[in-house]
Amino acid sequence: MTKSEEPVIIKKYANRRLYNTGTSTYVTLEDLASMVKKGSDFTVYDAKSGEDITRSVLAQIIFEQENKEGQNLLPITFLRQLIRFYGDSMQMLVPRFLEASIESFSKEQSKLRDQMSQAFGGVGFGPLEDQVRRNMEMFERTFAMFAPFARAGQAAPSSAADKPASAASSPAEQIDDLKRQMEEMQKRLNRLSEGDKGKDQ
């Protein structure tokens, strides 16, 4: 999908209404969520102050999606630990770590979709919704097992990360532990991907 060179400008007014300057229409958070899914880029500004409030609006979209039944993506333990990182010395590393993790996950998801498309000769995904859902659940379980922010007392995903992140005696050790866990996640995803290739053959 071709993306526009410049992001669409969305203005948020005091009455909380969102105005798409590209289409000259009022939009909802659901409309913005659809834009994100379609790959459309946008920037949200406060109509009065001109402040860029894109981050808070995206966070609000996630909040709305999480409140929908069956739409939950963020485990409670993950949310609790994420909150703990605000103001922590490791806070500056968390965004980059999360970006790398979700990028790796997205790449593996794309491979699965491509493999399914090839295996079924380009047949539409409508009849395959159950299989797609099972595959996504498998990846979600793997992502949960990754537990990059495991608390003390929780099982780590591999023997290389037996020691909880909170037990690290220095920031350097914590970083090494996060790197080991990222490598373990990549290995798990690779094994899952290879297993699906074997089934397709």
Three-state DSSP class for 117?
A: helix
Q: What is the pLDDT of residue 130?
A: 61
Tell me, yes or no, whether 57 and 81 share the same domain. no
Q: Do residues 35 and 103 share a domain?
A: no
The number of distinct structural domains making up the chain is: 2
φ and ψ at residue 52, rounded to 5 degrees? -75, 115
pLDDT the model gives residue 106: 81
Same domain membership, residue 51 and residue 88: no
Contact 149, 104 (CB under 8 A): no
Helix (H) or strand (E) holding 9: strand 8-12
pTM, entire model: 0.53
Number of C-beta neighbours around residue 103 at 10 A: 9
Q: What is the pLDDT of residue 80?
A: 93
* Placement of tokens 């913005």 in the chain: 32
Q: What separation in angstroms does the CA of 164 have from each of 79, 161, 167, 175, 198?
A: 17, 7, 5, 12, 35
**In a shared domain, residues 157 and 104:** yes
In the chain, which stretches have pLDDT less than 70? 1-5, 116, 119-176, 178-179, 189, 192-201
Residue 1 counted as domain residue? no
Say yes or no: 33 and 132 in one domain: no
Provide the residue range defining the domain that includes 19. 8-66
Whether residue 190 sits in one domain with residue 122: yes
Q: What is the tens place of the pLDDT at every residue in 81-129?
A: 999 999 988 889 889 888 888 888 887 877 777 776 776 665 555 545 5
- In this structure, the answer to whether residues 93 and 46 fall within a common structural domain is no
Whether residues 125 and 189 share a domain: the answer is yes
Domain match, 159 and 179 both: yes
**Among 63, 58, 28, 24, which residue's Cα sits nearest to residue 43?**
58
Q: Specify the pLDDT at position 8.
A: 95
pLDDT for position 43: 97
